[in-house]
Amino acid sequence: MEYNDKQTAIIDIAERLFSVSGFDGTSVRDIANEAGVNVAMISYYFGSKEKLMEAVFEHKSNKMRLKVENLIQDTEMTPIQKIYLLIDEYVEKFLDQKNFHMIMMREQLTDKRTPVSELILELKRRNLESVRMLIHDGQKKGVFKKNIDISMMMGTLIGTVSQMVLSQPFYRKVHGMEELGEQEFRSHIRKKLSIHLKKLFKALLTNEA
Please report the domains of the chain, with CATH numbers, ordered by start residue.
49-205 (1.10.357.10)
Q: How far is Cα of residue 36 from the mean position of the Cα atoms in its chain? A: 28
CB 195 within 8 A of CB 188: no
Helix (H, G, I), strand (E, B) or coil at 144: strand
Question: Does the structure show a pLDDT above 60 at 206?
Answer: yes
The secondary structure of residue 27, as a DSSP letter, is -
Q: How far apart are CA 18 and CA 16, in angstroms?
A: 6
| DSSP class of 206 | B
* pLDDT tens for each residue of 73-104: 888 999 999 999 999 988 988 888 777 777 77
Residue 110 has what pLDDT?
66
pLDDT of 54 strictly over 60: yes
At residue 170, what is the residue type? F
Question: pLDDT of 16-33, one tens digit each?
Answer: 998 888 888 899 999 999
- Burial classification of residue 177, based on how many CB atoms lie within 10 Å of its CB (0-12 exposed, 13-18 middle, 19 or more buried): middle
3-state SS, residue 36: coil
Q: What is the pLDDT of residue 88?
A: 93
Which pLDDT tens digit goes with each residue over 138-173? 999 999 999 899 999 998 998 899 888 888 899 999
User: Strand pairing partners for 206?
Assistant: 144
Tally: H helices and E strands in the chain: 10, 0
At residue 105, the pLDDT reads 73
Percent of the chain at pLDDT > 90 equals 49
Section 171-195 average pLDDT: 92
What pLDDT score was predicted for residue 111? 64
For the full predicted model, state whether its pTM sits above 0.85: no
Beta carbons of 104 and 120 less than 8 angstroms apart: yes
Residue 191: its pLDDT value, please? Answer: 94
